[in-house]
Each structure stands twice: as structure tokens, then as C-alpha cells.
Amino acid sequence: AVHGALIAAQQIDTKRKRAEAQRHIVIGAGAAAAAAASPIPFSDAAILVPIQLGMMARIAQIYKIKFERAALLAVASTTAATQVGRATFTGLLKLVPGVGTAAGGAIGAGVASTFTFAMGQAWAVVCAKVASGKLRNSEGMIDNDQVRELFISEFTKKVRVRQESR
């Protein structure tokens, strides 16, 4: 009876953590969209990284996981190259007077929101796995390579799903 109650409590706790993580993902995606909608060319890139890292750090806290800052940065940087390319495109688009500003802001907001949402979803999967004792090396430490691989895989899936749902 005690074992069954413990399992039920853990399942409720897992659902609560997942719901709290989802709340922060939605907030992060909204903040990223707002930052990217700025009419100032190239202004969003400097704002997006802290928004995304903050969201990822909060999700890790929800799951009570202490990642080294270096590991968090390494995982986040895996998506940076793609984001820089897209940010450069939308930044250049914003340079076109009139229509370019509006189009660049709208495209940038959509991309930033999609990427941030996908990052949050992927990171929540990683954190849930780590919290359940997975993604560990032979010494029982968090395996950064496994974390990065799972994050990239989940991130790619989430971006694809998000783009297909639009």
C-alpha cells in the first residue's frame, strides 16, 4: 500500500513538473517572439540568448537538476548556428525600408518563438530523463554527450512538428 502511494505521488509530481515546465516554455516563446519583433535590425539576437538560457535554467530547477553552466551553454549553443543564420536573414530584411521592417519583425518573431518553444520542449524531455536517473555515465554523473545528443534529436523533432502545425 505504501509503495503504491509512493508511485502515485511520484506520478502526480511528474505531471506537476511537466505542467510547470510547459508554463515557462510558453512564457519563454512569447518573450522571444516579442524580442524578435523589434524593428531594429539585429537587436533580437542579444536578447534571445538570455531568454532561452533563463527558460532552460528554470526548467532544470523545476526538475531539481543542477547542470554545470558550461553544459547548459554547450547544449544551447548547438542551436545557435541555425539561429544566427535565420537572425541574419531577418535582420537584413528589416533593413529594407517600410515593408522590410514589418516582414522582418514578423518572420523573426515566428522563428524566435518556434526555436525557443522547441528548445524548451527538448530541454524538458532531457531534464525529465535526467531526473528519472537516465543519461548518466558509468560514474553516475550526468553524461553531457548523451544530454546533447538527446537535446539535438528532440529539438529537431519539435521544430519540425511546430512548423508542420502552422
Q: What is the pTM of this model?
A: 0.76
pLDDT score at 121: 95
How big is the chain, counted in residues?
Answer: 166
CA-to-CA distance for 145 and 138, rounded, in angstroms? 13
CA 56 to chain CA mean position, Å: 6
Residues of the chain with pLDDT under 50: 81, 84-85, 88-96, 99-104
Which residues on adjacent β-strands are paired with residue 142?
Answer: 136
pLDDT for res 95: 47
Residue 41 has what pLDDT?
A: 55
If you ran DSSP here, which 8-state letter would residue 142 be given? B
The confidence score (pLDDT) of residue 58 equals: 92
Q: Specify which residues 13 forms β-bridges with.
A: none
Beta-strand (E) ranges in the chain?
none
Tens digit of pLDDT for each residue in 104-139?
455 567 778 888 998 999 999 999 998 888 988 899
Closest CA to 30 of 96, 109, 106, 104: 109
Report the distance separating Cα 94 and Cα 38, nearest Å. 9
